[in-house]
Amino acid sequence: MKIVFCGKGGVGKSTVSKIYAEKLSNSKKTLLISIDQDHSLSVIFNKNIGNDITEIKENLYAIEIDAKSISKDYINDVKKSISEFLSKKAFGEFENYSKILLDSSIAINTSIIYGIYKIPKNFEIFIIDTPPSYQFTSFLRTLFNLRKNLEIILKIYENWKNISENWANKKLKSYEKLKEKERIAIEVEKFFRDAQYYIVLNPNKLIIDLSLNLKFFLENLNLNFSGFILNKYNNQDINLENVIDKIEILENL
């Protein structure tokens, strides 16, 4: 089972993720994954977690994926892949550009994809704590476009192979790397398509509106939207009828 908690920043996604992870770990081996680069699991659990899978207690583990560290390795890998195509001058220009690319949303998102791919799949429950909704939607766009873009590039490789077998043999190593990236993209895309998505929100009109927009976005991607979780409710006299359905109230979090 895979459960994704998403929503606007500051609504309590990490707290909700912790509560559900602790509850589910009572009966199943559970891994809590933070893909928000402003990680808060270490603070919530009062334990240094970081980029390695860390045992919190029996049956409960956590990891805070360090996208910037992975991004450096990824960009170095890209440099090796393209060095055989580019002139010395062009490669130098790319190196300068890669310094800017390192902190780009595409590099961060792609690094998170690779981080998730490397996680062992021998857990029964995966719970994903996400960044604020605008960053999370950017991540999903990167994820679902990555495989499509790799398919196009691989078709170009195959067409070149038909034109020049000799050229293709020289570029075989690069082709195999692209095929590997395609396999990674397919596996991680399936991981997120198999997940159940819950939107965490507060009883605030702006947050409710943003949450409904996020619900629409998830449904447009044909992802499994499973409901809203109303956090920090405190029994306020607020009428949410006809605004939110499938809602679970977590009081006094």
Residue 43 has pLDDT above 70, yes or no: yes
Question: How much is the pLDDT for 76?
Answer: 75
Average pLDDT for residues 30-39, to the nearest whole number?
A: 94
Q: Which two tokens stand for residue 248?
A: 């679970």
Cβ-contact 66, 117 below 8 angstroms = no
Q: Which residue has the higher pLDDT, 242 or 82?
A: 82
Instruction: Give 108 or 89, the one with higher predicted confidence.
Output: 108
pLDDT of residue 253: 33
Task: Dump pLDDT digits (tens) for 166-183.
Answer: 555 555 566 677 778 888
Measured CA to CA, the distance from residue 225 to residue 245 in angstroms comes to: 12
What confidence score (pLDDT) does residue 172 get? 57
pLDDT of residue 237: 46
pLDDT at 250: 44
**Closest residue by Cα to residue 124 from 226, 5, 17, 25:** 25
Between residues 106 and 198, which one has the greater pLDDT? 198
pTM assigned to the model: 0.80
Q: Name which residue leads in pLDDT, 249 or 171.
A: 171
Does residue 216 register a pLDDT over 70? yes
Query: What does pLDDT average to over the chain?
Result: 81
pLDDT digits (tens, 9 = 90+) for 100-113: 667 778 888 988 99
pLDDT reported for residue 252: 36
pLDDT exceeds 60 at position 236: no
pLDDT at residue 244, as a whole number: 47
